[in-house]
Amino acid sequence: MLKINQLHKSYPIGDSSLHVLKGIDLSVEEGEMVAIMGSSGSGKSTLLNIIGMLDEADSGEYILDGLPIKNLTEKKAAVYRNKFLGFIFQSFNLINYKNALENVALPLYYQGMKRKERQEKAMFHLEKVGLADWAKHLPKELSGGQNQRVAIARALAANPKLLLADEPTGALDTTTSYEIMAFIQQLNDEGKTILMVTHEEDIANMCKRIVRLRDGVIMEDKKVEQVRAEQYV
């Protein structure tokens, strides 16, 4: 699915620079569900953003689905993001003046899909996250958990191969977190590859593999026995 070799990334800070990723080697197979953990500032988000082509590495190799990601034009990157990747953010990042259905339909709009087909498809995904009745509501009229479910539906709308989530449960309470995790596990069961950043051990244990970062390198990379989230809901 994806393969990373000796990836480096540093941020310029004034005259000096902050070396955040110091040679990451990582490969993820199709159907995996990986948790990326590490202390604050260890570079988890930076890594995820590079994988999501929202940011660029300074050096190293990154191959996504057999495609070397290097010096892509912004247009090409946009097409790959649209086709391969789905994003779930900690702060949802829904568009505040669009209702749930319109938000979910947005990636399909950028795929050039016809309005009617788009709305049907968006509705299908909203149903899947249990929010069909809330389709016409604006994000401010929804709870955090509902908003994150809208965001998940949006990430799924374009049927991506790889789902990237940066602390998807970071803004939610425990019960809601488990609800969201149940959804994500279900998606993984259906075959989606999932990469998520999290701080919480219990959330990480609901994945199938945990990668720990420290000081810009991978300190530990192990498979774990998946804890199912449904039992807590």
Ligand X SMILES: Nc1ncnc2c1ncn2[C@@H]1O[C@H](COP(=O)(O)OP(=O)(O)OP(=O)(O)O)[C@@H](O)[C@H]1O
The site for Mg ion (CB under 5 A) is made up of 45
Helix (H, G, I), strand (E, B) or coil at 78: helix
Query: How near is the Cβ of 20 to ligand X at its closest, in Å?
Result: 4
Q: From residue 14, how far is each of 8, 18, 19, 53 by CA, in Å?
A: 19, 10, 13, 25
The DSSP secondary-structure symbol of 17 reads E
Least CB distance to another protein at residue 129 (A): 17
Cβ 5 to Mg ion shortest distance, Å: 23
| 99 scored as a contact of ligand X (CB under 6 A) | no
Q: Do residues 197 and 36 make contact, with C-beta atoms less than 8 angstroms apart?
A: yes
Does 43 sit near ligand X (CB under 6 A)? yes
- What token pair was written down for 150? 């809208």
Residue reference for tokens 């939610």: 172
The reply to whether 41 sits near ligand X by the rule CB under 6 A is yes
Would you say 43 or 52 has its CB closer to ligand X? 43
Smaller CB separation from ligand X, 18 or 95? 18
Tell me which of Mg ion, ligand X, another protein, none is bound by residue 139, counting a contact when its beta carbon lies within the kind-specific cut-off of 5 to 8 angstroms.
none
Q: Which two tokens stand for residue 136?
A: 């016409």
Q: Which of 33, 45, 180, 198 binds ligand X (CB under 6 A)?
A: 45
Provide CB contacts within 8 A for 133, sequence distance 6+: none
Query: Is 71 among the residues that bind ligand X (CB under 6 A)?
Result: no
Strands in 59-64's sheet, in edge-to-edge order, are 16-28, 2-13, 59-64, 67-68
For residue 28, give both structure tokens. Answer: 């993820």
In whole angstroms, give the CA distance from residue 171 to residue 167.
8
Q: Which does 41 bind (CB under 5 to 8 A by kind): Mg ion, ligand X, another protein, none?
A: ligand X
Q: Does 78 bind ligand X (CB under 6 A)?
A: no
User: Min. distance of Cβ 107 from another protein in angstroms?
Assistant: 4
C-alpha pair distances (Å), 173 with each of 64, 145, 168, 183? 33, 9, 11, 16
Nearer to ligand X, 16 or 231 (CB): 16
Residues lying near another protein in the complex (CB under 8 A): 49, 52, 54-56, 74-75, 78-79, 81-83, 87, 89, 93-95, 97-98, 106-107, 109-111, 115, 154, 158
Minimum CB–partner distance for residue 118 and another protein (Å): 9
Residues 12-31 that bind ligand X (CB under 6 A): 13, 18, 20
Cα(38)–Cα(58) distance, integer angstroms: 21
Nearest distance from residue 102's CB to another protein, in Å? 8
